[in-house]
Amino acid sequence: MIGQLMAAEMAEQPDVLRRLVGRRAAIAAQVRAVRPERLDGITLVARGSSDNAAIYGRYLLELAARRPAGLAAPSLHTMYGAAVDLAGYIAVGISQSGQTPEIVTVLRRMRERGARTIAIVNAAGSPLADVADATVELGAGDERAVPATKTFTATLVALALVAGGLGEVPWEDAELDSLPTQAGALLADQASADRVAASLDGADRLVVTGRGLLLVAAVETALKIRETSAVLAEGISPADLSHGPIAAVGKGFPVLAVIGDPPEPGAQEMVDTLRRRGARVLVLSPAAGADCSLPPDVRPALLPMLAVVRGQQIAAAVARRRNLDSDAPAGLSKVTLTR
């Protein structure tokens, strides 16, 4: 059966997330132990799907630590040898495999430049863990399908736990504890995702849009659809979409909009604008009447994790409808050795 590995690994997510959330206190203690006495800022280092997770981390870590957080440009270090003073910074390297040479090199150089370093990896003993002052192990088990599913959602949860070690987070412990159960309920409800996938029959391009913390769900869903189905999908914020790219969206153009309830500023307005332009807009939201449902009453900072699970379902469903093997997309491998 095509796509069976991806489906099986998606199904493991509730248990993976439950184990990780159960280590909340230990991970927060690790983070507090490496935090500089004066924290000036946070930088996140990643590529591929891990770079998408870092988008979520950028928002969440800055909210919690009340210090600037941003995404590193690895090429500054590997191509241009930038001698950046990182004293007072925390550098977070994210790599499910922990083997990407570029990320290992950059985190090591950041450490040499004064940063305290944290690695988020799926297994201990990886090269990335070797250059970190603290390692947050995902413990998701082997992931054999090329598209990252359980390791991706685990990375989002790991970033939430790192945030808890840096400052005040916008949720209660019980709300974080409920995430694995909510993810399981979504995975048991395939019908919503199948309806969206059917609406995308014949599409060779797609815009996925989400704002703020939900941007991670937009870019990751777009990546999963590109990987599994060879659809030219782009994830973009509604704010950025309105600055020129919207000119390419006309009659019949498919758009998947990821929206909270209540909607983020400008999100519903963008949906209305796209529909006036004739676009075929599908809404993924906790709000009543959404084309693809999310659980209601979930804190905005936690909703992206569940939206990502829905995005995985949609991507897998699109691939099945096209008789494509989502486990092993053509021309892709599990570990991409960028340098």
- For residue 49, give the nearest of 1, 103, 85 by alpha carbon: 103
Range 15-19 contact pairs with CB under 8 angstroms and sequence separation of 24 or more: 15/180, 16/138, 16/139, 16/140, 16/141, 16/150, 16/153, 16/154, 17/153, 17/154, 17/157, 17/179, 17/180, 17/183, 17/305, 18/180, 19/139
- For the chain, give every domain's residue range: 4-179, 190-321
pLDDT value for 99:
87
CA gyration radius for the chain? Answer: 19
Asked if the 190-321 domain carries CATH number 3.40.50.1100, the reply is no
- Helix H or strand E encompassing 41: strand 41-45
Scanning the structure block, which residue is given the tokens 């092993």?
328
Query: Tens of pLDDT along the chain (339 residues)?
Result: 577 999 999 999 999 999 999 999 999 999 999 999 999 999 999 999 999 999 999 999 999 999 999 999 999 998 998 889 999 999 999 999 888 899 999 999 999 999 999 999 998 789 999 999 999 999 999 999 989 999 999 999 999 999 999 999 999 999 999 999 999 999 999 999 999 999 999 999 999 999 999 999 999 999 999 999 999 999 999 999 998 899 999 999 999 999 999 999 999 999 999 999 999 999 999 999 999 999 999 999 999 999 999 999 999 999 999 999 887 776 555 555 565
- CATH number belonging to domain 4-179: 3.40.50.10490
pTM, entire model: 0.95
